[in-house]
Amino acid sequence: MSKEFLVLAVNPGATSTKVAVFQNETLVKQKDVRHTTSEFKDCKRILDQKEIRLAYIMDFLREAGIRPESLNGIVGRGGLIKPIESGTYLINDNMIQDLLADSAAVHASALGGLMAAEIGMKYNLPAYVVDPVVVDEMEPCAKFTGFPGIERRSVFHALNSKAVARRCAKDIGIAYEDGRFVVAHMGGGITVAAHRYGRVIDVSNAIDGEGPFTPERCGAVTLEPLVELCFDGKTKKSDIMAMINKSGGLMAYLGTNDLREVEKMIREGDEYAALVLDAMAYQVAKEIGAMVAVLEGRLNAVVLSGGIAHSTRFTGSIKQRIDQIAQVVTYPGEDEMKALAEGVLRVLRGEDQAKIYT
From first to last of its 358 residues, the chain has per-residue pLDDT tens of 468 999 999 999 877 899 999 999 999 999 998 888 789 989 988 899 999 999 999 999 999 999 999 999 999 988 889 999 999 999 999 999 999 998 887 788 899 999 999 999 999 999 999 999 899 999 999 999 999 999 999 999 999 999 999 999 999 999 999 999 999 999 888 999 999 999 999 999 988 999 999 999 999 999 999 999 999 999 999 999 999 988 999 999 999 999 999 999 999 999 999 999 999 999 999 999 999 999 999 999 999 999 999 999 999 999 999 999 999 999 998 888 999 999 999 999 999 999 999 9
DSSP string, 206-217: GGGT-SS--SS-
Please say whether the beta carbons of 159 and 339 come within 8 A.
Answer: yes
Q: State the pTM of this model.
A: 0.88
What secondary structure does DSSP assign to 260-326, as a single string?
HHHHHHHHTT-HHHHHHHHHHHHHHHHHHHHHHHHTTT--SEEEEEEGGGG-HHHHHHHHHHHTTTS
Residue 81: its pLDDT value, please? Answer: 93
pLDDT score of 87: 93
Domains and CATH numbers, the chain: 6-136+336-356 (3.30.420.40), 158-332 (3.30.420.40)
Whole-number pLDDT of residue 228 = 96
**Predicted local confidence at residue 203, as pLDDT:** 97
Burial environment of residue 298 by CB neighbours within 10 A (0 to 12, 13 to 18, 19 or more)? exposed
